[in-house]
Structure 1
């Protein structure tokens, strides 16, 4: 508190005693010397009419060093002087109390400012922690305001663009020279994120070693009331990841395709052996086991090929012909009954079931659905299947 009146200082001490630690000064220069030692108070109570350096002059000096969030100032003004109130607020005061003041009002305003100061400190600490974290991430972290300007960019932007952080701050993507089509893509995504939804964005980026594929997630940043204040973007270079995944898919496809030829040869030889009688019963049993195992391996290879085709965007090949779904489903359920003799399977058919379709794909779909039902339903219950 900076107050030249000893009576006012003592009065304020009695009001605030037990609520805060009050340090008093009779003049501004003495208080400034105290601040110069690195001791920053949570709040300054400042009398407007001080001898020598006036309260307004002292306030302007403080504001040149610290803003209203860093050091709140509560002005003590004379009752009835609107000009003093206006001058105090224009100079950077957070609030004011007119003298003579009601003790309860002074305590309430001081408590309010201290509470606000604590909130600012927590927010500042959280922001500092966020910036430290962003500085060590390989991803590019950026923050956008409602005008789509960059209000924060992490240092990793330098690796992506060879431009420093300062080049981006306060600018929109359009002002940074981004192509119009991509600006529109970003504008739509940022606007959607401001509605409260998370948005994913993928685009090509001209890097120093060629074009890069970048994937970005846009997240709304909210206040305590749930209002969206800004949008946070986390951009990651997925070029190597996509290239590696594509190579893996091609490798799976090549290996799967090459495996089908020897498996087909095995099946053909086994089938020939069975057609010729297969020798004694033990030999036929061995051949039948080989046939079942090779058939299963062929199915697995076909599944791998299907997986590769879908991942490469080619879709699943369909071999359609007229058939009855009753027969397809009946065969699937019979195989599952054999595989799971401990479970009950019930099914019913209603209406016309003939159509043109790929029976193998439908059998695969039905097998997956019913097998999951058998796997995850209680053992004592029956699994029902209805075809209509």
Structure 2
């Protein structure tokens, strides 16, 4: 009973006059129920759950006297602790009072009594009873929470069982009906309901939905029908409804589910203490669900990590702060056979023979080496990472061992190929290029001494052209080989005025291709730090291609301009046929590629544009090409400072 509810006093007296005197003495602070004989009290106790806070019992009555009423109340569990105050006549003997107290009465008052004394005894009895009720209720609530805690502990990570145990405890001790709707999210959607009436679970399903948290109390079923939407009326008509509570089930986020609780027609509304206990139970269950989800996530993560470690191509050795091996994976056993018989890191060298790549033996400090040779068979790289605990102290280490035998073999083969290429460069650069140079010089001298003789001059000219082409091919091979070896194309930067350089190159191109029509657009001087020979090679190559593959007789425009801190050179020609296809543009600067196919194949190696790109990139510049119906444009962008 709430502290705000007026106490209920039962007055049992065969004299209506005396009963009225007693009622008047207590005043208006109480509610009363009057009985004129003991049997009526017994019948009332058997038929109701609404018990009084105190009973004022006349000891001497016809029919069923007060001592028999008192004995019945003490033998009946609901009234066992109910305060009973004997109302006696002034002439009653002390022995009778002692007998009454021994039969279960908690106090007595003799007529005629002073009203203040009667009120004081009644109030004292009520305070004592209510204090006892509060203590009993708290004990019951604590027992409920403890009981739930034990069942949740036993449920472990079984989420359906956790939910079921929560609803069972709530229905057994705090509600008539209860349901839990878990919303889909971190967990799959779930709906579970319990009711003291077996048919109530189905009725609960109709009223369990997502709604804002709320608590309702109703005087009776009619009141509930007026206050609640029609969806609740079926439940109300069947069970009555004194209270409805909709509470959140908070897991992993502010609201992940909804708990609906009911108290039906014969129950009382939820008291504040009831709601507090319900919320505590929900929090316990929510924490249990959250822990179950976390445990499952961690278990999944551990399983994934285990599978990852087992399939990693590198070996893993984990050790604790004392050097004891706590974990290894399959890959490390391939590198160090026999490791499974080792318990500590300092014992690893007992099952494996380590040396440096040079053949020097490695002792127990094998973890400090970066490159080991295991049993003269396998090469392995080693890296050890220390682990710290939450306090910053040493917690152990992880040693990563990677089998690099194949990489070591490939590197050795690569070194061998590199040495061969260097030798080839020497052969091409010295044994071929030098004779060709002498041949060119001799042909030039012959042409000069021919004095215009008709028979020899055309022949010498053809020989000279062929030898110069061979020289260019050798030069291209040298450039490509240097680039492919990673050394890049060597440049010798100097201060260069771009306009005279372009004019000189275009004159040379026109001398070789006299039918080409070329226009230079360079209104302002452009000075930068570049390798003049290599830059001339870039312009010559692109301009020669433009003349060779462009539309005959069409003007080729060579434009140079300064854009910020860069020089931009663009060479535009008109297409002979169709524009260069996009897929061809993507590989245009790769070695052995050409921008056009199907006509006038060049006698070269298809290395010109590849070398152009290497030269431009050696200057920290860029080169690109576009092609459409208006023609093809090659654009070179170079920083003006070296």
TM-score, normalised to structure 1, is 0.50
| Conservation of the 8 A alpha-carbon contact between 2:439 and 2:467 | yes
1:293 matched to 2:293? The reply is no
User: Cα–Cα, structure 1 residues 335 and 203, in superposed 2: closer, same or farther, change >3 Å?
Assistant: same
User: Cα–Cα, structure 1 residues 15 and 218, in superposed 2: closer, same or farther, change >3 Å?
Assistant: farther
1:212 matched to 2:367? The reply is no
Which residue is 1:10 aligned to?
172
Which residue is 2:582 aligned to?
none
Q: Could you give the per-residue CA deviations for residues 30-50 of structure 1, whole angstroms, max 9, x where no partner exists?
A: xxxxxxxxxxxxxxxxxxxxx
Which residue is 2:531 aligned to?
329
Structure 1 residue 124: Cα displacement: 0.8
1:271 matched to 2:446? The reply is no
| Distance in structure 2 (CA, Å) of the matches to 1:16 and 1:303 | 76
SS of 1:326's equivalent in the other structure is strand
| Conservation of the 8 A alpha-carbon contact between 1:140 and 1:154 | yes
Structure 1 residue 16: Cα displacement: 6.4
Alignment of 1:11-30 (within 5 A): 11=173, 14=177, 17-18=180-181
Q: Which has the higher contact order (CA 8 A, sep 6+)?
A: 1
| Distance in structure 2 (CA, Å) of the matches to 1:281 and 1:231 | 76
| Distance in structure 2 (CA, Å) of the matches to 1:176 and 1:325 | 60
SS of 2:294's equivalent in the other structure is helix
Which residue is 1:248 aligned to?
414
TM-score, normalised to structure 2, is 0.33
Structure 1 residue 105: Cα displacement: 0.9
| Conservation of the 8 A alpha-carbon contact between 1:345 and 1:383 | no
Structure 1 residue 174: Cα displacement: 5.0
| Conservation of the 8 A alpha-carbon contact between 1:145 and 1:151 | yes
1:135 matched to 2:310? The reply is yes
User: Cα–Cα, structure 1 residues 176 and 213, in superposed 2: closer, same or farther, change >3 Å?
Assistant: closer
Larger Rg: 2
| Conservation of the 8 A alpha-carbon contact between 1:217 and 1:233 | yes
| Conservation of the 8 A alpha-carbon contact between 2:335 and 2:378 | no
| Distance in structure 2 (CA, Å) of the matches to 1:249 and 1:181 | 30
| Distance in structure 2 (CA, Å) of the matches to 1:115 and 1:215 | 41
1:344 matched to 2:560? The reply is yes
Q: Could you give the per-residue CA deviations for residues 328-373 of structure 1, whole angstroms, max 9, x where no partner exists?
A: 6333333223234566365999xxxxxxxxxxxxxx9974333742
Unaligned ranges ≥5, structure 1: 25-98, 186-201, 222-228, 311-315, 350-363
SS of 1:162's equivalent in the other structure is coil
| Conservation of the 8 A alpha-carbon contact between 1:256 and 1:302 | no
Which residue is 2:63 aligned to?
none
2:427 to 245, 261, 276: 261
| Distance in structure 2 (CA, Å) of the matches to 1:208 and 1:330 | 56
Unaligned ranges ≥5, structure 2: 1-147, 152-164, 183-189, 195-273, 350-361, 389-394, 445-458, 497-529, 544-557, 566-612, 627-632
| Conservation of the 8 A alpha-carbon contact between 1:252 and 1:304 | no
SS of 2:466's equivalent in the other structure is helix
| Distance in structure 2 (CA, Å) of the matches to 1:147 and 1:15 | 55
Q: Could you give the per-residue CA deviations for residues 259-281 of structure 1, whole angstroms, max 9, x where no partner exists?
A: 53255333233323322226432
Structure 1 residue 376: Cα displacement: 9.1
In the comparison of the two structures, how many residue pairs are matched? 261
| Distance in structure 1 (CA, Å) of the matches to 2:293 and 2:622 | 56
